[in-house]
Amino acid sequence: MSASPALSLAFLAVVLGLGSSAISLLAGRQPRVLRLLAMPLVGLCGLAALGAGVLALTQGGSVSATLPLGLPWMPWHVRLDALSGLFLMVIGLVTSVLGLYGPAYVRSFEYGRDSLVALGGFTGLFLVGMLLVVLADDAFLFMVAWELMSLSSYFLVAFQHENAANRRAAFLYLLMAHIGGLTILLGFGVLAAFGGGFDFDAMRAATLSPGWASVAFALAFVGFGMKAGLVPMHAWLPEAHPVAPSHISALMSGVMLKVAVYGFIRVVLDLNGEVQWFWGVVLLAVGSVSALMGVLFALMQTDLKRLLAYSSVENLGIIFIALGLALLFQATEHSMLAALALVAALYHVINHALFKGLLFLGAGAILHSTHERDLEQMGGLLRRMPWTGYFFLIGCLSISALPPFNGFVSEWLTFQAALQAWQLESGVLRSLIPIASAVLALTGALVAATFVKVYGVAFLGQARSRHVRRARVVPFGMRAGQGVLALLCVLLGVLPTQVIHLIDPVATELLGTGMPQAGASGWLWLTPISAETASYSAPLSILALALIAGLAIWWFKRRTVRGVRRCDPWDCGFAAPTPRMQYTATAFAQPVRRVFGLLFEIEEDRTTGEDGVQRYRLRLTDRLWGLVYAPVARGVESASRRVVRLQSGNVRVYLGWTLATLLVLLWIISGA
Amino acid sequence: MISAWLIALLQALLCAALAPLLVGWVRKVKARLQNRRGAPVLQPYSDLRKLLFKETRVAHTASPLFRIAPYIVFVATWLAAATVPLIALDLPTARIADIIVLVGLLALARFFLALAGMDVGTAFGGMGASREMMVSALAEPAMLMAVFTLAMTAHSTSLVSVMEHHLADGFVLRPSYLFAFGALILVALAECGRIPVDNPSTHLELTMIHEAMILEYTGRHLALMEWAAQIKLLLYGVLVANLFFPWGIGAAFGPLALGIGLAAVVVKLGVLGAALAVGETVLAKMRLFRVPAFLNLALLLGLLGLLSHVILEVGA
């Protein structure tokens, strides 16, 4: 069907995903099949996708094929170019790790009541859906794959459906996924009407007036933004992501959100033609708000997985800030700078997939070993689960954008792009970008606070409950899965020039310009614009860090007068501290909660019970629920109450309505 | 090339060596202002020496991270300081890290400092970590805004280029620089834990921020933590001095230029240290929840600096 090895590998990935799904469905009552066969197949599917993506990126160009599927007059087209290749690589990276992590993790479900058939079956379909979205080259296949992805992930969110909260989260997710799907469909409708066909080639060839192009942009932004969890369309995300099994949370947060970013880039930068400058402004504004709100809510959470989900909102905000910069620069004909911003966004896409995957897998390991998601019950896990502890630390350092880890590189590139704002002619735009970069800086610092809280409360200090005190090391496969992602986080932080070299074809393909100057001073030096403007040498900085630290430790080991002696904690000489006297996650967040109090709806009260014990209760809700979601829900309810009047229960009335509809339709057709 | 790296190494060593002296100087001036005789200027060196050779004790409840943290904090802070041009411009180390990397390295040090505070599981450690992260969450963006103003003016985030641009430009009074200068001073006070944000000599448990985090450290671990804090003070001093008043810094690598550079930076730091001592004598420490207002002022100044630059100065 196709001669290209990259496309063949991509097809192999799809087939493996389908195979994994089919095996789980057929296995029925054999729970072991999922662990021994279906999960490894998922891993192989990931490896194939990874290979296809890397091949497509390194070979350049694009290959397309037509599938003998779909409608007779509208066959399915697939196409693999640099952009698809990059996202295939992202899907492949996280999925292949699940092949290691998954078998051990799903084992804990074997003795439960939950249906493993559903878990395995829908995991495979979910993967196939994501792969096909990225490969699709016409709106028809794209929407089918998109819905496959949304629906199968709905079943994964609803996996533990005995719990009412999970059902509610899944329903909210389903609802918002479909509103999003609808707007995407309408967006494609606009593009297809001008292009005269549903395949992407026709849409690319079409020329839209700025007004219609903006309509298509708005529809795509709402649709994909809803999937990406941008504020204020984020409400489903912190509900849905935490309740899925942890490896699925890693897939949803790490990968599915990126598929939404893919769709957005594909529609706006590839299909939609001429870019308007105010699209960039919209993206900057929404991205900044998402980043800031996301991290503030993350900092307030005490449920580890929920916290990670909110942090995804923040990271998607950062990605959209960088994309906004790319659109602004592209619209004002600074393609080199647009390429820089786009590379920053795509770098962050890869990074977020890696570290969010790593952190969710770490949360899964904790859940597996202690059955606990609540930070307030954790503590001292570093000594009980050292491997998970160190890998999780790397994840925390990476997500907090600290050098020399990967998160820092993408944030650094974003700042570099923002600092080129002086090249813009318009004074308004020149002053908007600094405000966005101030928000980005504030976000970065708050992320560090969030992850100091997470790591300090969960892994350091002393255990706050008995089952956490007895935590066990997780099986090898789970540790290996986290280890691979942690290693990748370090590598992507230390070797940025190579990664940018890999991403570069995407920028060249979409914007016509790449970043040839990034590695111009050799692989050691990352110089996004020129060596005089900015340079960063991650390899040398890590070398210096390691060298001095090594020397210092060696010196002390040699010269130490006396060794280290263990003693009781000092704590200013007060009574020996108990685990209950430690700072809790809620207490840690209190100063920031107070500083940014206006953004939250806080209910707080102190009561003294009959037993004389004082109790403190804190409830913190999103103001947007009251401002946006509740009015919409009320509106829909009252509208549907009015519609109810049509349903009298009388067959003759229904027939009357049907006849009336038919007449109106006939009248419209005859008129046209 | 080799000589450049050697001078860079020399400058890095000089950073670490001068840092205790600056702290000793500030303490001395402060003591004289308060009509005390004060400890000798070289006292911090003796303190470090004493701590380095004392027995090191670690709490039973501490994890391995507690023992690694001092090394990481020290090395990250030192590396950050080594990338700031101290006596000479155009060093190879300055190309390793630009302003943003410098802020990142300091953030790395702070991350481990806060984690170390939470590690033993005492209430004070957690309290210090929580407050430190709140203060830094507001101070870091202000710092970035201030340095971005300079970076945008020089069209470069490299510290060397910023200083070269400033030197070539001559003495021009720009409104953006004034704002950025104010912001950077406020941030420096907050980040180095000086009055009015934190009191480095406090022993009142509930007012501590930095001290609360290193409460459990002894011996060489404590020495490294203290030394890192001193280097950080020096770093901010050099940033303020050399970014806004780069005159005197060695543009070439000759012994004369380096000598003048060293003398210039010592004088500048001496003046700044004395100003800090005066400030600390005149002001009182703020309540913790007044600190956000202080830092918001810094952020606002930084943002104003950046905006006045892009609005007033770019086109003109």
Confidence of residue B45 (pLDDT cuts 50, 70, 90): very high
Tell whether A296 and A415 lie within a shared domain.
Answer: yes
**Does residue A556 register a pLDDT over 80?**
no
Of A509, A525, A548, the position where a domain reaches its end is A548
Which helix (H) or strand (E) is A448 found in, with range? helix A427-458
What is residue A490's predicted lDDT score, i.e. its pLDDT?
Answer: 94
3-class SS letters over A334-393: CHHHHHHHHHHHHHHHHHHHHHHHHHHHHHHHHHHHHCCCEHHHCCCHHHHCHHHHHHHH
pLDDT tens readout for residues B115-159 = 999 999 888 899 999 999 999 999 999 999 998 888 888 888 888
Residues A589 and A597: their CA atoms lie apart, in Å, by 11
- Per-residue pLDDT tens digits for B15-44: 999 999 999 999 999 999 999 999 999 999
Across-strand partners of A65? Answer: A78
Sequence-ordered strand ranges (E) for B116-250: none
Cβ of B141 within 8 Å of Cβ of A442? The answer is yes
pLDDT at A562 over 70: no
Q: Provide mean pLDDT across the span B193-221.
A: 85
Q: A116 or A242, which is more confident?
A: A242
pLDDT single digits (tens) B249-265: 888 778 888 899 999 99
| A567–chain B Cβ distance below 8 A for any pair | yes
In a domain, residue A285? The reply is yes
Residue B217's pLDDT is 93
Average pLDDT, chain A: 90
Confidence class for position A299, pLDDT limits 50, 70, 90 = very high
Is the pLDDT at B316 greater than 80? The verdict is: no
Touching check for A539 and chain B: CB below 8 Å?
Answer: no
Position A634 scores a pLDDT of 92
Domain end: A503, A525, A548, which one? Answer: A548
Q: Flag if A460 and B65 touch (Cβ within 8 Å).
A: yes
- Contact (CB, 8 A) for A538 and A493: yes
The answer to whether position A152 is within a domain reads no
Q: pLDDT for B296-313, tens place per residue?
A: 999 999 999 988 888 887
pLDDT value at A652 more than 60: yes
CB-based contacts of B143, cutoff 8 Å, min separation 6:
B103, B183, B184, B187, B191, B302
Domain presence at residue A16: no
Nearest by CB to residue A565, choosing from B55, B108, B136, is B55
Whether A291 and A229 have beta carbons less than 8 Å apart is answered as no
**pLDDT score recorded for residue A613:** 85
Is residue A541 one of the residues assigned to a domain? yes
Interchain proximity B59–A568, CB inside 8 Å: yes
Count of CB atoms situated within 10 Å of the CB of A433: 26
Give the range among A264-268, A309-313, A567-571, A658-662 with minimum mean pLDDT. Answer: A567-571
Q: What is the pLDDT of residue A1?
A: 46
Least Cα distance to B194 among B93, B277, B119, B111 occurs for: B277
Say if residue A607 is in the same domain as residue A471. no
Q: Where are the beta strands (DSSP E) in A72-103?
A: 74-80
Q: With beta carbons under 8 A apart, name residues in chain A contacting B228.
A: none
pLDDT of residue A577: 81
**Is the domain of A605 the same as that of A544?**
no
For residue range A91-147, what is the model confidence (pLDDT) as tens digits? 999 999 999 999 888 888 877 777 788 888 999 999 999 999 999 999 999 999 999
Angle made by CA atoms A586, A592, A594, in degrees to the nearest 5: 90
Provide the pLDDT for residue B172. 77
Which residues on chain B are in Cβ contact (under 8 Å) with A449? 133-134, 136-137
With beta carbons under 8 A apart, name residues in chain B contacting A598. Answer: none
The percent of residues in chain A predicted with pLDDT above 90, rounded, is: 63
pLDDT for B5 equals: 85
User: Complex ipTM above 0.90?
Assistant: yes
Instruction: Assess if residue A250 is contained within a domain.
Output: no
Q: Is A113 inside any structural domain?
A: no
Residue at A340 is within a domain: yes
CB spacing of B121 vs A565 below 8 angstroms: no
Structural contact between residues A313 and A375, judged by C-beta atoms closer than 8 angstroms: no
Whether the per-residue pLDDT at A412 is higher than 80: the answer is yes
pLDDT of residue A3: 62
pLDDT at A672 (0 to 100): 62
Q: Is the dihedral of CA A364, A309, A258, A508 positive or negative?
A: negative
Q: Do residues A538 and A619 both lie within one domain?
A: no
Contact A154, A177 (CB under 8 A): yes
Range B235-253 average pLDDT: 89
Q: Are residue A359 and residue A463 in the same domain, yes or no?
A: yes
Residues A532 and A669 in one domain: no
Half-sphere exposure of A34 (CA within 13 A, CB side): 26
Task: Give alpha helix (H) positions in A597-650.
Answer: 623-624, 630-644
Average pLDDT over residues A649-664: 91
**CB of A595 within 8 A of CB of A292?**
no
Cα–Cα distance measured from residue A409 to residue A387, given in angstroms and rounded to the nearest whole number = 25
Claim to verify: residue A528 and residue A654 sit in the same structural domain: no
Q: Do A549 and B75 touch (CB under 8 A)?
A: yes
Contact B101 A536 (CB under 8 A): yes
Domain count, chain A: 2
Min distance A284 CA to chain B CA atoms (Å): 17
- How large is the average pLDDT for residues A343-350? 96
Domain of A650 in residue numbering reads as 601-672
Cα(B261)–Cα(B3) distance, rounded to whole angstroms? 17
pLDDT confidence bin for A418, thresholds 50/70/90: very high
Residue A346 and residue A461 in one domain: yes
Q: Does residue B315 carry a pLDDT above 70?
A: no
A620: enclosing H helix or E strand: strand A614-622
Whether A535 and A626 share a structural domain: no
Cβ distance A541 to B105 less than 8 Å, yes or no, reads yes
User: Do A321 and A410 lie in a common domain?
Assistant: yes
pLDDT at A20: 93
Task: Please state the rounded mean pLDDT for residues B103-109.
Answer: 95
**Inter-chain CB proximity A419 and B56 less than 8 Å:** no
Q: Does A232 touch chain B (CB under 8 A)?
A: no
A560 falls in which pLDDT band (50, 70, 90)? low
Residue of B65, B133, B191 to mutate, testing the A interface (most A Cβ within 10 Å of its Cβ): B133
How many angstroms away from the CA of B281 is the closest CA of chain A?
Answer: 27
Q: Which of residues A524, A548, A572 is at a domain's end? A: A548
Within 220-239 of B, beta carbons closer than 8 Å to A belong to 220, 224
CA dihedral B229, B233, B239, B240 (to 10 degrees): 150
pLDDT tier, A251 (very low <50, low <70, confident <90, very high otherwise) = very high
pLDDT mean over A506-516: 87
Q: Which residues contact B215 (CB under 8 A, 6 or more apart)?
A: A570, A571, A572, B117, B122, B124, B125, B128, B208
